[in-house]
């Protein structure tokens, strides 16, 4: 099963170009869609989920034409949006039973079996009778993925799922996603590089509505190896360094800014080569390049 997106474009009223000729082929397994806020990730996810129409382009999920056969897509889709509402006074069990009914599972015994299995899979069996209004953020996200898995979908989309979760809940949720993504297409849309680095065998970086780069993370990292340099500098020199060099990121190390620069050759004697860059360097390189292209 593959999700094939070809030449997808979307411009909102006011001239905001959310998607510009996006093309991707997404195979079975975990696929990371990385991009900053406003990059076009949510627009792309909502379009795949049939919640809005593109201006042009096509999307196919296996033999399903996503833009024409919306009913067929929805039967094969599980979607966990960035924000979703739940009735706080209902239990996890009742919530799942309700959504199973909406998904077309009409027989009570069959629903009970499905609900029980999903509560077990998402480690919510012990709180099945508890009202979801008292759930932690991580528990609500796990309930959300349980809802998304009703009906054995072929495609699952999760949009910024770990934002706001504490480290323990984050790892629990990522482990759950990893299990889910073994046999179906799962798209993890996020700006958190670490989530993608831990889970995804394939990744695409989107910025300013365009796919900047895609591929296997190790291959993308190999393309910038030998070109990422770092240097610690006083705060008062930061602006000058950003004007002089192609700074892709800066961070504080013991209170002192450390800049990372993309350059084919050493940009100055004070710079040290990063022997082993990571996916975060790839991400910042592409995002800053997109910003520079827009500015030009």
Q: How far apart are CA 82 and CA 141, in angstroms?
A: 10
Predicted pLDDT of residue 174: 87
Residues found in the chain? 296
Query: What is the rounded radius of gyration, in angstroms, for the C-alpha atoms of the chain?
Result: 21
Whole-model pTM above 0.95?
Answer: no
| Chosen domain end from 155, 187, 215 | 215
Same domain, 197 and 288: no
Task: Find residue 30's DSSP bridge partners.
Answer: 186
Of residues 197 and 82, which shows the higher confidence score? 197
Looking up tokens 């989920």 gives 49
Q: How far apart are CA 160 and CA 191, in angstroms?
A: 7
Q: How far apart are CA 66 and CA 200, in angstroms?
A: 24
Three-state secondary-structure class, residue 153: coil
Q: How far apart are CA 17 and CA 149, in angstroms?
A: 32
Same domain, 264 and 130: no
Contact 214, 204 (CB under 8 A): yes
Q: Which domain holds residue 258?
A: 222-295
Those residues whose C-beta lies under 8 Å from the C-beta of residue 240, and which sit 6 or more positions away, are none
Same domain, 167 and 253: no
Pairing of strands 256-262, 247-253: antiparallel
Contact 181, 213 (CB under 8 A): no
CA 285 to chain CA centroid, Å, is: 18
Three-state secondary-structure class, residue 188: strand
Same domain, 142 and 249: no
Structure tokens at 167: 């480290």
Between CA 260 and CA 244, with CA 226 as vertex, the angle to 5 degrees is 40
pLDDT digits (tens, 9 = 90+) for 202-225: 999 999 999 999 999 999 999 999
Q: What percentage of the chain exceeds 70 in pLDDT?
A: 99
| Chosen domain end from 196, 215, 234 | 215
Q: What value does the mean pLDDT take over residues 266-283?
A: 94
Same domain, 236 and 187: no
Which burial class, exposed, middle or buried, applies to 88 when counting CB atoms under 10 A from its CB (0-12, 13-18, 19+)?
Answer: exposed
pLDDT digits (tens, 9 = 90+) for 106-117: 898 999 999 999
Same domain, 195 and 285: no
Same domain, 276 and 179: no
CA 257 to chain CA centroid, Å, is: 29
Of residues 170 and 66, which shows the higher confidence score? 66
Report residue 138's pLDDT band, with 50, 70 and 90 as the boundaries: confident
Report residue 64's pLDDT band, with 50, 70 and 90 as the boundaries: very high
Looking up tokens 């030998």 gives 226
| Chosen domain end from 215, 233, 262 | 215
Report residue 48's pLDDT band, with 50, 70 and 90 as the boundaries: very high
Dihedral of CA 46/120/151/87: which sign?
negative
Contact 82, 42 (CB under 8 A): yes
Q: What percentage of the chain exceeds 90 in pLDDT?
A: 64
Contact 98, 104 (CB under 8 A): no
Same domain, 239 and 156: no
Same domain, 53 and 175: yes
Those residues whose C-beta lies under 8 Å from the C-beta of residue 37, and which sit 6 or more positions away, are 191
Contact 260, 248 (CB under 8 A): yes
- The number of domains in the chain is 2
Q: What value does the mean pLDDT take over residues 158-178?
A: 85
Return the CATH number at 47.
3.40.50.300
Residue 89 has pLDDT above 70, yes or no: yes
Same domain, 164 and 264: no
Same domain, 111 and 141: yes
Between CA 200 and CA 211, with CA 206 as vertex, the angle to 5 degrees is 100
Same domain, 235 and 103: no
Contact 203, 174 (CB under 8 A): no
DSSP one-letter code for 85: -
Report residue 287's pLDDT band, with 50, 70 and 90 as the boundaries: very high
């Amino acid at each position: 099963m593959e999700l094939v997106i070809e030449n997808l474009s979307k411009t909102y009223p006011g001239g905001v170009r959310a998607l510009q000729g996006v093309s991707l082929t997404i195979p079975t397994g975990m696929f990371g869609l990385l991009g900053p806020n406003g990059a076009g990730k949510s627009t792309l996810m909502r379009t795949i989920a049939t919640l809005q129409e593109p201006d042009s382009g096509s999307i196919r999920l296996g033999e399903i034409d996503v833009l024409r056969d919306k009913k067929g897509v929805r039967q094969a889709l599980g979607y966990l949006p960035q924000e979703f509402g739940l009735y706080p006074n209902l239990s996890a069990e009742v919530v799942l039973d309700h959504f199973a009914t909406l998904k077309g599972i009409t027989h009570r015994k069959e629903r009970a079996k499905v609900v029980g299995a999903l509560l077990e899979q998402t480690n919510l069996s012990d709180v099945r009778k508890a009202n979801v209004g008292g759930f932690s953020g991580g528990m609500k996200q796990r309930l959300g993925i349980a809802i998304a898995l009703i009906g054995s979908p072929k495609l699952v989309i999760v949009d910024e799922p770990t934002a706001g979760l504490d480290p323990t809940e984050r790892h629990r949720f990522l482990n759950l996603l990893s299990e889910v993504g073994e046999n179906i297409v799962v798209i993890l849309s996020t700006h958190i590089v670490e989530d993608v680095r831990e889970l995804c065998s394939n990744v695409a970086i989107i910025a300013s509505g365009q796919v900047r780069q895609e591929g296997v993370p190790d291959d993308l990292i190999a393309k910038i190896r030998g070109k990422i340099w770092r240097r610690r500098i006083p705060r008062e020199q930061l602006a000058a360094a950003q004007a002089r060099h192609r700074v892709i990121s800066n961070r504080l190390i013991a209170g002192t800014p450390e800049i990372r620069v993309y350059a084919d050759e050493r940009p100055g004697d004070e710079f040290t080569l990063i022997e082993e860059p990571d996916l975060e360097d790839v991400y910042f390189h592409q995002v800053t390049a997109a910003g520079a292209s827009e500015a030009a």
